[in-house]
C-alpha cells in the first residue's frame, strides 16, 4: 500500500510538472511565433493542455502530493525552448511538438500499463489514457504539417533527450 502511494505520488508529480511545462512551452511559442495560422494551431493545442494541467493540479491537491521543486527551472527552460524553436522557424516548432509529444505518449502509456497491472486508480488511468490520446494527436498533426524535416533531426533528438531527463528528475524531485 505504501509502495503504491509512493508510485502514485511520482506519477502525479511528474505529470503535473510535464503539463505545466507544456503550458510554458506552447505559450512561449505563441508569444514568439510570427505566423498567424501556426499561432492559431498552437492556441488550440494549448487549450487542450490546459485541461490536462488543471486535472493534475487538482489531483496533487487531493492526493497531498508535493509538486516538483524544479518548477522554476522548467519555467525558464520551457520558455527558452519555445523561444528558440520559434526563432528557428515553423518547422522547428513542429519538430519540437513532435519530439516532446512522442516522448510523453510513451511515458503515459507506461503509466497506464502500471496502473492496469496493479489494478489501482482506474479513474486516474482513464484520464491518462484520454490525455495520451490527445498528446498523440498533437504529435500526428505536427508530423503532418512538417513535410520538410530536413535539418531538424538533431534538434528533435536533443529535445527528446531533454524531455526524458526532465521526466526522470520530476518523478523524484
Residues that bind Fe ion (CB under 5 A): 19, 22, 49, 52, 135, 138
Nearer to Fe ion, 6 or 44 (CB): 44
Nearer to Fe ion, 19 or 98 (CB): 19
Q: Minimum distance from CB of 134 to Fe ion (Å)? A: 6
User: Cell triple for residue 80?
Assistant: 527558452
Q: Minimum distance from CB of 53 to Fe ion (Å)? A: 7
Find the residue with minimal CB distance to Fe ion. 52
The residues, any chain, with a CB within 8 Å of residue 75's CB and separated by 6 or more, are 24
Q: Minimum distance from CB of 73 to Fe ion (Å)? A: 19
The residues, any chain, with a CB within 8 Å of residue 15's CB and separated by 6 or more, are 52, 56, 108, 111, 128
* DSSP alpha helix (H) spans, 119-152: 122-145
Nearer to Fe ion, 79 or 127 (CB): 127
Nearer to Fe ion, 13 or 52 (CB): 52
What is the Cα–Cα distance from 161 to 173, expressed in whole angstroms? Answer: 18
Amino acid at each position: 500500500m505504501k509502495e503504491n502511494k509512493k508510485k502514485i505520488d511520482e506519477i502525479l508529480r511528474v505529470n503535473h510538472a510535464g503539463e505545466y511545462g507544456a503550458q510554458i512551452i506552447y505559450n512561449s511559442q505563441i508569444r514568439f511565433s510570427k505566423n498567424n495560422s501556426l499561432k492559431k494551431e498552437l492556441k488550440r493545442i494549448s487549450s487542450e493542455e490546459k485541461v490536462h494541467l488543471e486535472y493534475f493540479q487538482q489531483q496533487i491537491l487531493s492526493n497531498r502530493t508535493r509538486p516538483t521543486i524544479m518548477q522554476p527551472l522548467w519555467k525558464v527552460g520551457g520558455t527558452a525552448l519555445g523561444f528558440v524553436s520559434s526563432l528557428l522557424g515553423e518547422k522547428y516548432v513542429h519538430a519540437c511538438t513532435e519530439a516532446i509529444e512522442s516522448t510523453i505518449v510513451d511515458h503515459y502509456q507506461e503509466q497506464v500499463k502500471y496502473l492496469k497491472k496493479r489494478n489501482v486508480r482506474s479513474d486516474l488511468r482513464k484520464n491518462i489514457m484520454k490525455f495520451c490520446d490527445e498528446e498523440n494527436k498533437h504529435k500526428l498533426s505536427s508530423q503532418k504539417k512538417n513535410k520538410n524535416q530536413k535539418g531538424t533531426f538533431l534538434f528533435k533528438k536533443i529535445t527528446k533527450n531533454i524531455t526524458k531527463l526532465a521526466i526522470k528528475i520530476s518523478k523524484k524531485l
